Chain A
């Protein structure tokens, strides 16, 4: 029951979060920007439109949006907002990394099936960055496992914050920018296919399938924000961390405004930085220095 409420709340609020961030970013850049409710209208409009798929594709592009949405909803149900979380006691941090991999695998296969060079290019980049970001993603979340709290998702909250926590959050924030297709790595608002990563991946999608993919993206984004908030101080109860989500919602558009998109081959250095930060944080925790 709690899980259902949690999933419904996250799924219901996720488009709003996207709308608010879009508005914030526009305002920071001196533009009026669309209404924060615009993502709901877009979803409603797309949900009623028919689906077009490229000629002669396999069933993979047909089912990929459903798998992506399923992955996002599972992620939402896992979040340790109320501890202990029934699903989270089975699915831990490692399984979460594999779960996110499942969504990525299916979407990139669907993109390659579409025969479009743009989609192929986006698939290649998505898999490149997706694989490079994985070590940092895992290590940033292992702070609790280091001090013997196990690998449950709620173990990340139950550790002293300190310098190690700051480093882990910094590493996770860099990962989050990549996973939510944000500016130094990707640009959600580009209209130029050659620079697209995530948008290029879903270039061939339309109608209710696109609505599912967009909703999945919004949910995944909010889940990453909530998970990032768990890394900030607030004690062992998940809901106490939720105010931090607002701070992250403001931080991301600020980063997107302050920084330019990195060149493609400079992005790996960002991920290497994240990996070093996360590994240092683990090292500090293992040896109990400066925690």
Chain B
């Protein structure tokens, strides 16, 4: 399942080049303009702390009225969108295909529209626009068969999800007798429990599949490796978050207050996604697909926060609900920042080496002198190392889980303790995975065939784009108050209770990391004074070759074996014996994991196809038969009417 992307830009004649450059500049400018708009919306949302109406277009039918307004809850999502759009636009200015930035601009605009939609019609319109434009982004290299299949899978999941969202919102609109979100929210307390729970289930299916929650995640690891890096950054960094925004709007506003089991279901699904995502990432050696699985993991962590917030809110514990929602929103922002950084870094690796296969990369530290340190910051942030931003938000998530562990009944205690253990395991496994990623791609010796020479990277606009994201990862990590204080205001507006920031949080990251940083500095100073001698690596006297380095497959081998009950690894070893059986001329080793969820999805698709084929019996295509159907229907109707 390796999708090689290769060099997308083909050299053309001079005028064509000029035209492409023009398209690229226009796209970059458009993306920046949309980003500015998103930033303005975010500012308005943060500043006003109340719903700001934007526009209402009366439809010919009342149900088609389009209403847009800025809510406090949409502000952090718009801010994230603005930051990511700027970073990705900078990236697109120098790399990728010329038409990418235009599509990215349209995609960003569609996402912005989803975030400010306040009526069913506008929300669904924007949602569809977002899905379709992103499908174009995924299909950028549609000349390859694998890309077309991935796009098809994505479209099927996106459309099925949109259908579920449509059902959920329609149920709400019918019950409320109006399609504006304000009317629905006003009617929310009067909903019958059956409608409320049905709406939740459909919203979970629709938004959960878009966000990549297990078991509806399977489109994600297919779509990401084939999309251009800029598109992956936007899909993973922003679009998954827009889906979570939809889930938040429905559960916190349109169908609120929810039943206690909503929160527990979300905590359970979040834990499952977190552990499942990181396990599949561990055994994957395609850098972009691995990052896609980590998106599944991080969406799981965010959903745990949302689940705790819902459970606490329905239990009447508003302080805990505020803390949990704060954790979820903060992790949403953080994941957007570091995941976009990592995807853009993976794109830079692909541009330099022509592959993102971990088994063929190595030793890029000395070559990608700018990307490597920025990528390391992304790795440290996603693993949650202090003092990077992932640490602060994961710490908050743990705090909210621990706060809700006791006094809320047996089910919640079991779910929360399991989530704490699961989250701790996820953290450890994610660290293992990113040690693998960074160690294999950037450290050690190069695994490149010796014919190709290394080219030292020079900084350009794309480096600035990545640098912006990395700087924010550090800034929100070292000074979490910068992000947490506005987010706490948003949480307060959304839940109608002031959110309390844990008093330890502002000073925490730097306190944890101060002495380790001092130790690192001490080492550098001591090395400067006393000198360090470079010697060959000790390999028991045999020559130092890149082939003897530990590989990604070998690195993840123990965990693959330990988690064999989930991953079902299977291996094939092949020996080619030459003149002597003791010295084989070639040994090849392949290992593959089985993806149970994907297999189940494929089984489901096959069953649907079988059913469709079976139903062809009544669709012979013969006109006479159809006339007979019509006559029969008429007779039955008349018979029933009598």
Contacts and interface: CB of A to CB of B under 8 A. Distances in A.
Interface of A: 50-60, 62-71, 73-74, 77, 87, 89-92, 94-95, 97-99, 101-105, 108-109, 112-117, 119-121, 123-125, 127-128, 130-135, 137-139, 142, 145-148, 151, 193, 203-204, 208-209, 212, 264-265, 268, 275, 279, 282-283, 286
A92 to B, nearest CB: 7
B471 interface: no
A108 B443 CA distance: 11
A120 B384 contact: no
Interface in B417-457: 417, 420-422, 424-425, 427-429, 431-432, 434-436, 438-440, 442-445
B522 interface: yes
Interface of B: 363, 365-366, 372, 380, 383-386, 391, 394-395, 398-399, 402, 405-406, 413, 417, 420-422, 424-425, 427-429, 431-432, 434-436, 438-440, 442-445, 504, 507-508, 511-524, 526-527, 530-540, 544, 546, 548-550, 554-559, 561-562
Contacts of A114: 444, 537
A134 B384 CA distance: 14
A94 B395 contact: yes
Contacts of A52: 532-535
Of the candidates B427, B444, B523, B540, the one having the most CB atoms from chain A within 10 angstroms of its own CB is: B523
A95 B435 contact: no
Contacts of A279: 417, 421
Contacts of B420: 135, 138-139, 142
Contacts of B436: 127
Contacts of A77: 515
Given A74-B516, A124-B558, A130-B432, A51 B422 contact: no
Contact of A117 (B383, B413, B550): B550
Contacts of B548: 115, 117
B431 A63 contact: no
Contacts of A124: 550, 554-558
26 contacts: A53-B533, A55-B535, A56-B445, A56-B534, A58-B372, A58-B442, A59-B524, A66-B521, A67-B520, A71-B516, A91-B511, A95-B386, A95-B512, A97-B424, A105-B435, A115-B546, A117-B549, A123-B439, A131-B432, A135-B421, A137-B424, A138-B420, A145-B405, A204-B537, A265-B558, A282-B417
A68 B522 CA distance: 12
B504 A63 contact: no
Given A74-B516, A109-B443, A131-B429, A275 B421 contact: yes
Contact of A135 (B365, B395, B424): B424
Contacts of B538: 116, 203-204
The 8 closest A-B pairs by CB, nearest first: A120-B550, A131-B428, A112-B439, A70-B519, A66-B519, A70-B516, A66-B523, A127-B432
A101 B428 contact: yes
B383 A51 contact: no
Q: Is the interface of B mostly helix, strand, loop or mixed?
A: helix
A115 B515 contact: no
Given A58-B442, A128-B432, 16 more contacts: A51-B532, A54-B536, A54-B537, A56-B445, A58-B372, A63-B520, A70-B517, A70-B518, A74-B515, A99-B512, A101-B383, A113-B443, A115-B544, A130-B428, A131-B428, A147-B406
A65 B444 contact: no
Given A112-B550, A138-B424, A68 B384 contact: no
B27 to A, nearest CB: 36
A53 to B, nearest CB: 5
A148 B407 CA distance: 10
Contacts of B427: 97-98, 101, 131, 134
B511 A62 contact: no
Contacts of A147: 406
Nearest to A148: B406
Of the candidates A71, A94, A108, A151, the one having the most CB atoms from chain B within 10 angstroms of its own CB is: A94
Given A65-B523, A127-B431, A286-B405, A53 B535 contact: yes
B385 A105 contact: yes
Given A98-B391, A137-B424, A128 B519 contact: no
Given A53-B535, A54-B536, A66-B521, A102 B402 contact: no
A101 B406 contact: no
Contacts of A146: 405-406
Given A102-B513, A115-B445, A265-B562, A55 B405 contact: no
Nearest to A142: B402
A105 B385 CA distance: 9
A279 B418 CA distance: 9
B562 A268 contact: yes
A15 B431 CA distance: 29
A92 B504 contact: yes
Given A51-B530, A124-B556, A94 B562 contact: no
B504 A90 contact: yes
B559 A128 contact: yes
B402 A145 contact: yes
